[in-house]
Chain A
Amino acid sequence: ETGVTQTPRHLVMGMTNKKSLKCEQHLGHNAMYWYKQSAKKPLELMFVYSLEERVENNSVPSRFSPECPNSSHLFLHLHTLQPEDSALYLCASSPDRSSGNTIYFGEGSWLTVV
């Protein structure tokens, strides 16, 4: 248990569906992250939020829409995804955005797009 909880753990969705991934951290951290892990590529940073402000959008297609309503919660809204978007989506948090602060990961949400 890392203190970062992701739901759902598994999600199957059609290409026309709209769904959301949820992440909650119980560590009092100020920065939260979305990473994508697929079989074809190393871990890719998607978004970074620091104090609820998005500080990086790493060239992610607009069909992925993040939301950070407060420093404890992070969402990834999914809309009209493609089969190649099937992957493990990992949420992470760190105390703040400064260098050297350890990043803690959740268990991930396995997404399959059919």
Chain B
Amino acid sequence: DGGITQSPKYLFRKEGQNVTLSCEQNLNHDAMYWYRQDPGQGLRLIYYSQIVNDFQKGDIAEGYSVSREKKESFPLTVTSAQKNPTAFYLCASRSRDRGSNQPQHFGDGTRLSIL
């Protein structure tokens, strides 16, 4: 079945450490997104990518970095510069066919906590 796979499901970060969250999709979607979700809150866009080797900052990109070397993969690195990384991270993808009519498809998320 086609879908989006995020790993790991749970991740712990030590002070001063960078950690990388994986997001892989086999939906052949061009666009991919990373969101942060804090308890009881909505989604905030971190980064997005419309094509391979290109990505743009979202609303809260500081302390995060991404790469898009393959269409299927869009890993997110939470750097030590992100002082409050504890949150639920969601990856999404979207087909760019037929303009705005296509929904975003989401993975099951990675929950990141500070040790």
> Do A and B form a real pair?
no
